[in-house]
């Protein structure tokens, strides 16, 4: 005798329905969530951990960009020395 319930196909149908609902709702929710997050960040004091984290992330990103620029310059210099036949 079977137990009452959804069964495997019912569970699959509910899961598929949930996924379709999420695909439709998430794009509408993202801008509103971003605005709320920005509002919350504006209310935080300057030394709050989330603000410090964003400042730190920005500093790390800038540092990474400087490092990449230096590496690219080094690679170009190294390649031009090789083409000129200079010892590397």
- pLDDT tens over the chain, length 88 residues: 566 666 777 788 888 888 888 888 888 888 999 899 888 888 888 888 877 787 888 899 999 999 999 999 999 998 888 888 877 6
C-alpha dihedral (66, 72, 75, 76), degrees to nearest 10? -120
pTM for the full predicted model: 0.43
- The whole-angstrom separation of Cα 22 and Cα 20 is 5
CB 21 within 8 A of CB 29: no
CB 41 within 8 A of CB 50: yes
Query: What does the buried/exposed string (b/e) look like for 3-13 if buried means 16 or more CB atoms within 10 Å of the residue's CB?
Result: eeeeeeeeeee
CB 61 within 8 A of CB 55: no
């Amino acid at each position: 005798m079977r137990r009452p319930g959804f069964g495997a196909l019912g569970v699959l149908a509910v899961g598929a329905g949930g996924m379709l609902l999420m695909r439709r709702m998430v794009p509408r929710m993202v801008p509103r969530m971003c605005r709320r997050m920005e509002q919350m960040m504006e209310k935080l004091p300057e030394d709050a951990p989330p603000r410090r984290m964003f400042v730190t992330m920005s500093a790390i990103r800038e540092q990474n960009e400087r490092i990449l620029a230096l590496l690219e310059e080094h690679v170009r210099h190294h390649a031009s020395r090789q083409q000129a036949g200079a010892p590397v």
